[in-house]
Structure 1
């Protein structure tokens, strides 16, 4: 620590190098860096620091590395490696007393490090390109999933776990039954990997008097490419989505029947945290800044919508006794969107005992493509999380684990306990209460 103190570690005032002075990224990075007081609270809750014990693999160390780049010291491949190891779970933001916007800062730091360092090894570059443009291609991904499921028994177990069987998706209700309209982002991997999540969302919302609409031209939210330093491609995805959604925002889309959508539903918290930041990410775009802010304001995670329908849900699921569940809150929900406690409260009001596990604030290791690009660290975090979850399942005699993000749900699949989206639980309870027969297993 002595050398860090000599470098002015306690004084986070940053003098930007000439190449960054006056640039949008430079100005933002300087503003964020100047908030850091180097207290170290963030380090105590950083998953990678807990595993590796390296100051530079915690938020405080990474902030210092980005500060060095901002002040003109060239990034090295070691710098890039430390930034790569960050999960972007943003747990550090939840524990920071100074309000340091670490998530946006690390995006800038990664971009600078990528620009200043030598090209990655060819195999790594090809893998990152395949992830950025393969996973986000809905048609390619869905066909790949179909083929993978056919040959699933022949594949290594680690690959099999990336292809969860999930529930049969059942039927989706018509989208012209109600006056109230809401949009939903289906996502790029969710329809092919666990399609029942989207269909269950549409069924439940329809029972609550809401038509769920989908814009055919909308696709990946842009997060995956953006966080893999394919930032221009990620921005293109965001602009495409805004264009696809705008007729629904104005009520001009034929499916709206003249009614503006009241919300943009997100049932994958990883997508939700990104769409809620469209207004920030596109703030300097003269053509999209205003529309992006409107979209971000419309964006609501599913758990922000359903609590207002608690009484209706009670009637729909009935008063029969219900088995308890263990809840894994995704980082993108509790730290990214700052949504904590709503699901626990609502399920409790519905008569469903819900519990969390030890260290529920820590990341499970999924983190988008992290489980592939940082497989070793991801595996350690997964094993740690599953161990805590299974203990909670046993302690509370729960029959399943629920979460709110496709990445976590897929990552935590195991042979002992079912892992599913919490909306699938609500959907199945309504069906069991003979609320509908749309879901044919």
Structure 2
């Protein structure tokens, strides 16, 4: 891991990053922008024996890790690595009750079956919401009205074709299969249509991305090692795929040769032969490219795939700004997350489209609305090439 001081020295304090930082845009506070946070990190890491103050923690916690700043930065500052190091340094200094709550949150979200059970409990508890503290009310508000059962990808392995065109791993994560199993099921159908042999690593569990962004570096490293071991046990593959761009954004940066094979599902599909569309062209779709794709991975292939499939794409205004989901951010920073959500919803509504496409389950959850249907890009590609329609009538 690069020394933090070397990362900080690359920053020339130009402030270009503030122009594209969502939290600076909302608060106007210099310390809520990347440049201000780098100042705080520099002071904190220069005095490692001194616990960071609540003020420092507050501004570090307000960072979405959307990485819009890295796209803007003319000096190539690796802000992702810098903020991860700063949070890992600060985590042991938090009050024990706060650390316990954060550990409980990642423990819940990173265990698929436990998380699914918690969703059912939350749905039943929603009528009690007015009697609960504000933080719990905001948590219950995020619980979907319908909790889907485990999908096909979580239950069975697809049969290998007689003459496969390739061999890939489809990595099932933790939150995605519990909230939207239809996404991985659509990926299975789409990849099968391309003649691929698919290995579903449903037992690999959480990759550790949630823990990494909350400063739980040791747990993140353990999760990453377990995931890599699970992948390696299946032998050589052409690619390791995930339908959750927040996961692939982290997994691609692991210091392991297998990380070079990690691809977002849209990134990989773009390398395959184009399938003939089977639906009438012209269906209007608003496109939201997640931060983890456009900033974290610099991947833009999903939009072109939808155009090739016959959809009419409408770009959402301020496409570089985060929707406010950002992993656990919507749970831990509901006020700022809510403001970004309203801003993004306004821009989506302005497109007039009744379908919103994205490629990260967190974004889809954040951007759900009665005015449109939020679906994963792979669900639309599956539908366009012969799969079931993902739209609820």
Task: Give the greater-gyration-radius structure (CA).
Answer: 1
Partner of 1:331: 291
Matched, 1:403 2:366: no
Partner of 1:81: 58
Assess, with a 3 A threshold, how the Cα gap between structure 1 residues 166 and 41 changes in structure 2: closer, same or farther. farther
Question: Any residues of structure 2 matched to 1:250-399 within 5 Å, and which?
Answer: 250=235, 260-279=236-255, 292=256, 294-312=257-275, 315=276, 317-318=277-278, 320-340=280-300, 342-392=301-351, 394=352, 398-399=353-354
Note the alpha carbon deviations across 1:55-104, whole angstroms, 9 max, x for none.
Answer: 01100000111111232274322111111110000000000000000011
8 Å Cα contact 2:204-2:227 kept in structure 1: yes
Question: Any residues of structure 2 matched to 1:40-439 within 5 Å, and which?
Answer: 40-72=15-47, 74=50, 75-115=52-92, 117=93, 119-120=94-95, 122=97, 124-149=98-123, 159-163=140-144, 165=146, 171=152, 174-177=158-161, 179=164, 180-248=166-234, 250=235, 260-279=236-255, 292=256, 294-312=257-275, 315=276, 317-318=277-278, 320-340=280-300, 342-392=301-351, 394=352, 398-431=353-386
Residue 277 of structure 1 aligns to a residue whose secondary structure is coil
1:141 CA displacement: 1.0
Residue 326 of structure 1 aligns to a residue whose secondary structure is strand
Question: What is the CA–CA distance in structure 2 between the aligned matches of 1:372 and 1:148, rounded to whole Å?
Answer: 14
Assess, with a 3 A threshold, how the Cα gap between structure 1 residues 238 and 171 changes in structure 2: closer, same or farther. closer
RMSD: 2.6
Note the alpha carbon deviations across 1:220-253, whole angstroms, 9 max, x for none.
Answer: 01011121122111111000011111022x3xxx
8 Å Cα contact 1:162-1:411 kept in structure 2: no
Assess, with a 3 A threshold, how the Cα gap between structure 1 residues 150 and 77 changes in structure 2: closer, same or farther. closer
8 Å Cα contact 1:182-1:211 kept in structure 2: yes
Partner of 2:9: 34
Question: What is the CA–CA distance in structure 2 between the aligned matches of 1:269 and 1:429, rounded to whole Å?
Answer: 21
Residue 309 of structure 1 aligns to a residue whose secondary structure is coil
Question: What is the CA–CA distance in structure 2 between the aligned matches of 1:167 and 1:134, rounded to whole Å?
Answer: 18
Assess, with a 3 A threshold, how the Cα gap between structure 1 residues 243 and 171 changes in structure 2: closer, same or farther. closer
Note the alpha carbon deviations across 1:181-227, whole angstroms, 9 max, x for none.
Answer: 21011110111111000111001110111122112430101011121
1:127 CA displacement: 2.5
Structure 2 unaligned segments of length 5 or more: list them: 131-136
Residue 308 of structure 1 aligns to a residue whose secondary structure is coil
Partner of 1:12: none
Partner of 1:282: none
Question: What is the CA–CA distance in structure 1 between the aligned matches of 2:124 and 2:180, rounded to whole Å?
Answer: 16
8 Å Cα contact 2:266-2:378 kept in structure 1: no
1:28 CA displacement: 1.7
1:386 CA displacement: 0.7
8 Å Cα contact 1:162-1:410 kept in structure 2: no
Give the alignment's TM-score, normalised by structure 1. Answer: 0.80
Question: What is the CA–CA distance in structure 2 between the aligned matches of 1:377 and 1:330, rounded to whole Å?
Answer: 18
Note the alpha carbon deviations across 1:355-402, whole angstroms, 9 max, x for none.
Answer: 21110110000011111111111100111111111112x1xxx22001
Question: What is the CA–CA distance in structure 2 between the aligned matches of 1:97 and 1:29, rounded to whole Å?
Answer: 19
Assess, with a 3 A threshold, how the Cα gap between structure 1 residues 29 and 376 changes in structure 2: closer, same or farther. same
Question: What is the CA–CA distance in structure 2 between the aligned matches of 1:69 and 1:388, rounded to whole Å?
Answer: 38
Question: What is the CA–CA distance in structure 2 between the aligned matches of 1:421 and 1:146, rounded to whole Å?
Answer: 23
8 Å Cα contact 1:264-1:300 kept in structure 2: yes
Residue 218 of structure 2 aligns to a residue whose secondary structure is helix
Residue 214 of structure 1 aligns to a residue whose secondary structure is strand
Structure 1 unaligned segments of length 5 or more: list them: 1-23, 251-259, 280-291
